[in-house]
C-alpha cells in the first residue's frame, strides 16, 4: 500500500516500514488494554500577565480538552513548562488538575527532578492526588548514564507505588533507553512503559519490538509510530487541535489507515514545523490561534517571535475548519 505523508518523507510504503521493523500488518495490534493508550495531552500550563499560574484558565482548558475527547492529560509536562515550575507549583498544579479531571480522563503527572529523593516525594504526592501514573526523566545533568545507575534510580522511584512511564529523550538528557535497558527496566515493579521522544522511528520501533508498551512522544511521528505498534501517544502539539488528534488515534486503533492518511495531511505541516525549533513557544502560540490560549510561556522562554507567526498560521490553516467540524 502506497501512502503519502507530508512533513516526514515524500513517498512512504508502509510495507517498507514494516519490513524494517521486522513485523507485519497481521502482527500489528493496538494495545487497547494498555491503560495509557490513545492521546495523552501534554497540556500547557496557563500563565497570567504577571507570569503566575492562571488556575481559572487551567480549569477552562481542561474542560475544553475533555469536551474534545482527549483520553488523558500529562500535568506539569515539558510542554506545560515543568522545568520552569517550582516544586511547590508543580505539586499544586497536579493536585488542582487531578481534582478538576476527577476520573473523566486519565491523569499522568511528571515528577522529574534532579534529586532522587525529590522525585520520590513528588511521585508520592502525585499518587496521593489520585493520578493514574507518573512520567519521570532518567537522571540528568551529570547523573549516572550506565544501565545499572538508571535501573537503581527507577527502582528507588518505584517505592512510591504508582505506575511509572520512563522518558527517552537522549538529545536532551544524555541517557538513551535501549531495547535491552527497556526490558530490564520493565522488571522493576510499577515500571510500565517509556515515552520515546527521540524523533527516531527506527529506534522507536526497536523499543516496540520488545513487546512492552511504548508511547510515542515525537509529534511528527504520530501516525508512523501507531502503525509500527506504539501503544499510545503523549502529544504536546495536540494542544492546538485536540479533536483532530483524537480522530487520528481513533482511526489508527480501528486500522482505518486511509483515514489516518487523510487526517495526517492536515496535521503534518504544523507538527513538522513546531518540531524544528521553538517547540514550546510554538505550541503556546498555535493553541492561542486555535482557541485554546494559555497565555505566554514563562520566562526565560518568550512569546513566539512575530516573524514566525505567519508560517505557523499558514501551517495551521488546514486544521481550522476540520477542528471546528470534528466531533
Quick: pLDDT tens for 68-109.
Answer: 999 999 999 999 999 999 999 999 999 999 999 999 999 999
Per residue in 51-65, pLDDT (tens digit) is 999 999 999 999 999
Lowest mean pLDDT among 10-19, 137-146, 196-205, 264-273: 10-19
Which residues does 200 contact at the CB level (< 8 Å), separation at least 6?
none
Per residue in 108-132, pLDDT (tens digit) is 999 999 999 999 999 999 999 999 9
Q: What are phi and psi for residue 151, nearest 5 degrees?
A: -60, -45
What cell does 304 get? 513566539
Q: Looking at residue 18, what is its pLDDT?
A: 32
pLDDT (average), residues 277-303: 96
Pair 86, 94: CB distance under 8 Å: no
- Write down the domain spans for the chain: 32-325
Q: What is the CATH number of domain 32-325?
A: 3.20.20.70
Residue 12 CA to residue 43 CA, distance in Å, equals 31
Residue 104 CA to residue 211 CA, distance in Å, equals 29
Neighbours of 277 (CB within 10 A): 9
What's the pTM? 0.89
Answer yes or no: is pLDDT of 32 > 90: no
Per-residue b or e along 101-131, where b marks 16 or more CB atoms closer than 10 Å to that residue's CB: beeebbbbbbbbbeeeeebbbbbbbbbebeb
What cell does 285 get? 502560540
Neighbours of 159 (CB within 10 A): 12
What cell does 112 get? 522529574
Q: Looking at residue 327, what is its pLDDT?
A: 63
Alpha helices in the chain (DSSP H): 14-21, 55-68, 87-101, 116-128, 147-157, 170-173, 179-185, 201-208, 222-228, 242-253, 257-276, 279-289, 306-325
Per-residue b or e along 176-195, where b marks 16 or more CB atoms closer than 10 Å to that residue's CB: ebebebbebbbebebbbbbb
3-state helix, strand, coil in the chain (%, to 5): 50, 15, 40
Terminal C-alpha separation, the chain: 28
* pLDDT band, very low/low/confident/very high, at 179 (cuts 50, 70, 90): very high
Answer yes or no: is pLDDT of 11 > 70: no
Pair 290, 323: CB distance under 8 Å: yes
Question: DSSP character for 6?
Answer: T
CA torsion angle 216 221 226 231 (round to 10): 0
Residue with cell 503566575: 52
Answer yes or no: is pLDDT of 21 > 90: no
Lowest mean pLDDT among 135-144, 269-278, 313-322: 135-144
Answer yes or no: is pLDDT of 5 > 80: no
Question: DSSP character for 303?
Answer: P
Residue with cell 474542560: 63
Pair 134, 111: CB distance under 8 Å: yes
Residue 104 CA to residue 117 CA, distance in Å, equals 31
* Angle of helix 257-276 versus helix 242-253 axis, rounded to 10: 140
Amino acid at each position: 500500500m502506497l501512502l503519502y505523508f507530508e512533513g516526514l518523507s515524500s513517498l512512504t510504503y508502509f510495507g517498507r516500514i514494516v519490513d524494517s521493523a521486522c513485523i507485519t500488518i497481521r502482527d500489528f495490534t493496538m494495545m487497547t488494554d494498555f491503560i495509557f493508550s490513545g492521546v495523552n495531552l501534554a497540556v500547557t500550563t496557563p500563565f497570567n500577565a504577571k507570569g503566575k499560574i492562571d488556575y481559572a484558565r487551567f480549569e477552562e482548558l481542561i474542560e475544553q480538552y475533555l469536551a474534545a475527547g482527549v483520553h488523558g492529560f500529562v500535568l506539569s509536562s515539558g510542554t506545560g513548562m515543568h522545568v520552569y515550575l517550582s516544586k511547590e507549583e508543580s505539586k499544586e498544579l497536579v493536585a488542582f488538575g487531578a481534582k478538576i479531571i476527577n476520573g473523566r480522563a486519565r491523569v499522568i503527572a511528571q515528577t522529574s527532578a534532579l534529586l532522587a529523593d525529590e522525585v520520590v516525594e513528588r511521585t508520592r504526592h502525585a499518587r496521593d492526588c489520585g493520578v493514574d501514573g507518573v512520567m519521570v526523566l532518567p537522571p540528568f545533568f551529570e547523573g549516572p548514564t550506565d544501565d545499572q545507575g538508571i535501573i537503581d534510580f527507577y527502582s528507588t522511584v518505584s517505592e512510591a507505588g504508582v505506575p511509572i512511564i520512563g522518558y527517552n529523550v537522549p538529545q536532551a538528557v544524555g541517557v538513551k533507553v535501549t531495547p535491552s535497558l527497556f526490558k530490564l527496566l520493565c522488571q522493576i515493579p510499577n515500571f510500565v512503559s517509556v515515552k520515546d521522544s527521540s524523533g527516531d522511528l527506527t529506534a522507536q520501533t526497536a523499543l516496540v519490538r520488545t513487546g512492552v508498551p511504548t508511547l510515542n512522544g515525537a509529534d511528527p511521528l504520530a501516525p508512523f509510530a501507531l502503525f509500527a505498534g506504539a501503544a499510545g501517544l503523549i502529544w504536546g502539539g495536540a494542544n492546538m487541535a485536540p479533536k483532530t488528534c483524537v480522530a487520528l488515534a481513533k482511526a489508527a486503533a480501528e486500522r482505518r489507515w486511509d483515514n489516518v492518511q487523510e487526517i495526517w495531511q492536515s496535521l503534518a505541516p504544523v507538527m513538522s514545523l513546531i518540531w524544528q525549533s521553538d517547540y514550546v513557544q510554538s505550541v503556546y502560540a498555535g493553541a492561542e490561534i486555535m482557541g485554546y490560549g494559555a497565555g505566554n510561556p514563562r520566562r526565560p522562554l518568550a512569546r513566539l517571535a512575530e516573524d514566525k507567526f505567519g508560517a505557523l498560521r499558514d501551517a495551521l490553516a488546514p486544521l481550522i475548519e476540520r477542528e471546528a467540524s470534528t466531533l
